[in-house]
Amino acid sequence: DANREFYLIDAENMKSNYFAEGSYKKAKKLIIKKGAFCTVGLMGLKEQNLGTVLNLIHGRDGEDGKVASLLEFNDIAYISPRVDASVLSYNKLYTKLYAESLGVKVVPYSVLNSNDSRDVTLEYPVIIKPVRLGSSIGVSIVKSADELDYALDVAFEFDNQVLIEPFIEGVLEYNQAGCKTSDFELSIVEEPNKEEFLDFEKKYLDFSRDGKVSDAEISVELKREIQTAFKKVYGTLFEGAIIRCDFFVVEGEVLLNEINPIPGSMANYLFEDFEGMIGRVISHLPKESTIKIDYTYINSIQSAKGGKV
pLDDT confidence tier of residue 201, bands split at 50, 70 and 90: low
88 phi and psi angles, rounded to 5 deg: -65, -45
- Predicted confidence band of residue 205 (pLDDT cuts 50, 70, 90): very low
Asked if pLDDT for residue 307 goes beyond 90, the answer is no
182-198 pLDDT per residue, tens: 999 999 999 997 654 55
Say whether both 134 and 209 belong to one domain: no
The mean of the pLDDT values for the chain is 90
- pLDDT per residue over 74-93, tens digit each? 999 999 999 999 999 999 99
Domain check: are 43 and 146 in the same one? Answer: no
- Helix extents (H) in 108-244: 148-156, 200-204, 220-234
- ∠ Cα 121 106 96 (to 5°): 85
For residues 156 and 201, state if they share a domain.
no
290 domain residue, yes or no: no
Residues 224 and 123 both lie in one domain:
no
188 with 217, same domain: the answer is yes
State whether 97 and 189 are in the same domain: yes
State the distance between the two ends of the chain, measured CA to CA, in whole angstroms. Answer: 48
Question: What pLDDT sits at residue 169?
Answer: 85
Q: State the pLDDT at residue 303.
A: 79
Q: In the β-sheet with 36-41, what is the strand arrangement from edge to edge?
A: 6-8, 28-33, 36-41, 44-48
Both 191 and 259 in one domain: the answer is yes
Residue finishing a domain among 127, 151, 166: 166
Q: Give the CA angle between residues 284, 104, 187 to the nearest 5°.
A: 45
CATH code for the domain of 271? 3.30.470.20
C-alpha distances in angstroms, 43 versus 18, 28, 47?
29, 15, 12
Query: Between residues 196 and 213, which one has the greater pLDDT?
Result: 213
Among the listed ranges 22-31, 68-77, 190-199, 266-275, which one has the minimum average pLDDT value? 190-199
CA 99, CA 258: separation in Å to the nearest integer?
10
Find the domain containing 100 and state its range. 86-105+169-283
Contact 112, 271 (CB under 8 A): no
**Do 142 and 177 fall into the same domain?**
no
Say whether both 201 and 247 belong to one domain: yes
At 86 the pLDDT is 96
Q: How confident is the model at residue 206 (pLDDT cuts 50, 70, 90)?
A: very low
Q: What is the pLDDT of residues 154-175, one digit of tens each?
A: 999 999 999 999 999 889 999 9
The reply to whether 94 and 50 lie within a common domain is no
| Residue 110 burial by Cβ neighbours in a 10 Å radius (0-12, 13-18, 19+) | middle
Partners of residue 7 on adjacent β-strands: 29
* Residue 207 scores a pLDDT above 50: no
Read off the pLDDT of residues 29-51 as tens digits, 9 standing for 90 and up.
999 999 999 999 888 899 998 89
